[in-house]
């Protein structure tokens, strides 16, 4: 997407947040938007948390195995140093970043960049996850995606943990989580 200049000639940036439960298609949607940007030959940089090595150390990979190259970073502020001369920035798994992720996204948007961020809005207990509530509050555009409940087939919004672990962050896939609706998550 071309970032149009304002009446004063400055580029205007914005923040787009894609959120939802696991298996709702957040990463898939992020990849789709970035591919569209690349088709238009718009320069883009893509980042993910260094800790997310589930499918690949460098690539952002959806559960459907669609993938796109990214730069893993340990801290949100690293993005500012590594972003380069681009018009669009993609960030996956934002819930795993430190508290600086919100300020980093605002800084990038303030520079006139389109910032596309994807992440879990809630943890496995249904509580707001990491800095996602703050990103949602600062976003210009929000897309909330839903999975399908593995128990009843209704709309799911909870990443229900099916293994016995108490820590908030547990990197996992279908072996550790399944999407569930409100009712089935409480059973």
Active site residues: 93
Rounded CA separation 120/21 (Å): 6
Residue 7 bridge partners (DSSP): none
Query: What residues have CB less than 8 Å from 109, skipping those under 6 apart?
Result: 13, 14, 15, 115, 140
51: left (phi over 0), alpha (psi -120 to 50) or beta: alpha
Rounded CA separation 184/126 (Å): 13
Residue 148 bridge partners (DSSP): 155
Alpha-carbon distance values, 146 to 94, 97, 137, 173 (Å): 17, 22, 19, 16
- Tell me which residue of 82, 71, 32, 80 sits closest to 49, measured CA to CA: 71
Q: Which two tokens stand for residue 82?
A: 């590594």
């Amino acid at each position: 997407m071309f970032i149009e200049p304002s009446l004063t000639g400055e580029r205007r940036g914005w923040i787009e947040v894609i959120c939802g439960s696991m298996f709702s298609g957040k990463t898939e949607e992020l990849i789709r938007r970035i591919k569209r940007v690349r088709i238009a030959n718009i320069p883009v940089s893509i980042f993910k948390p260094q800790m997310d090595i589930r499918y690949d150390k460098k690539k952002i990979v959806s559960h459907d195995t669609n993938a796109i190259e990214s730069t893993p970073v340990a801290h949100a502020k690293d993005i500012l140093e590594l972003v380069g001369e681009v018009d669009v920035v993609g960030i996956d798994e934002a819930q795993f970043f430190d508290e600086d992720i919100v300020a980093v996204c605002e800084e990038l948007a303030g520079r006139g960049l389109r910032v596309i961020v994807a992440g879990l809005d809630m943890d496995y207990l249904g509580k707001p996850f990491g800095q996602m509530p703050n990103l949602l509050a600062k976003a210009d555009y929000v897309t909330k995606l839903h999975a399908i409940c593995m128990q009843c087939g209704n709309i799911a919004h909870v990443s229900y943990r099916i293994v016995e672990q108490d820590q908030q962050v547990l990197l996992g896939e279908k072996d550790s989580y399944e999407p569930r609706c409100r009712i089935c998550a409480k059973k």
